[in-house]
Amino acid sequence: MIRIASSALALALLSGAAMADPVAYGFDKSHAILEFSYNHLGYSTTQGVFRNWDGELKVDQDTPSNSSVNFTIDVTSMDTFWDERNKHFLSADFFDVEKFPKATFTSTSVEKTGDNTLKVTGDLTIKDITKPVTLDVTVTQMGEHPMAKVPAAGFDVTGVIKRSDYGMDMYVPYVGDEVTVHFNTEATQAVK
């Protein structure tokens, strides 16, 4: 959900071709996953995914601060691989999807931290509560896509949020408050 902002800057900073204006890139959903995990009672790590999401990525290589990412997650598409848990998480005890079916992330700043790493900060909104979140991004590869023959990039993004910040504190501290979010994706330059 949250790590896309980094993609924007990664592309902007690490790409070789000059761009005068921000350039749109599209996410390849057939080669992407948005997942999360949390500690369960100290015994195990429970995982889940959001199957439906969409994002807008624009990259400005010359002025990375002009790059941007907006990301929307369909919370109703959450799957933790156990039906009863899914129903509970979607209920008013947690996400309350009848009132708040969507979550969003909007980038606010990007910082290059290494040859292929970035820190991206943005506003994450869940249940109409907005908090700043910082994501760590690794640019896994950049270059011409061998099949599509257009500029492409791969990103591995991670971040940690506290669910209690978004009004979901049931069972804390027994069930972990910190939730690790992981987003892995490919993106290609949009065809005009």
Tens-place pLDDT, residues 107-134: 998 888 888 888 899 999 999 999 999 9
Confidence of residue 153 (pLDDT cuts 50, 70, 90): confident
Write down the pLDDT at residue 13.
Answer: 45
The whole-number average pLDDT for the span 175-181 is 98
Query: What ranges do the domains of the chain cover?
Result: 4-189
The whole-number average pLDDT for the span 97-104 is 98
Tell me the CA distances in angstroms from 51 to 32, 38, 66, 110, one per residue in order: 10, 18, 29, 26
The DSSP letter of residue 176 is: -
Q: Is the pLDDT of residue 142 over 90?
A: no
Q: Is the pLDDT of residue 67 over 80?
A: no
Write down the pLDDT at residue 20.
Answer: 56
Write down the pLDDT at residue 129.
Answer: 98
Confidence of residue 2 (pLDDT cuts 50, 70, 90): very low
- Second-level CATH architecture of 4-189: Beta Barrel (2.40)
Could you tell me which residues are beta bridge partners of residue 132? 123
Confidence of residue 10 (pLDDT cuts 50, 70, 90): very low
Q: Token pair of 87, please?
A: 């129903």
Write down the pLDDT at residue 134.
Answer: 95
CA dihedral 4, 8, 10, 16 (to 10 degrees): 150
In this prediction the pTM is 0.85
Q: Is the pLDDT of residue 149 over 70?
A: yes
- Provide DSSP, 46-104: EEEEE--EEEEEEE-SS-GGG-EEEEEEEGGGEE-S-HHHHHHHHSTTTT-TTT--EEE
Write down the pLDDT at residue 111.
Answer: 83
Write down the pLDDT at residue 85.
Answer: 98
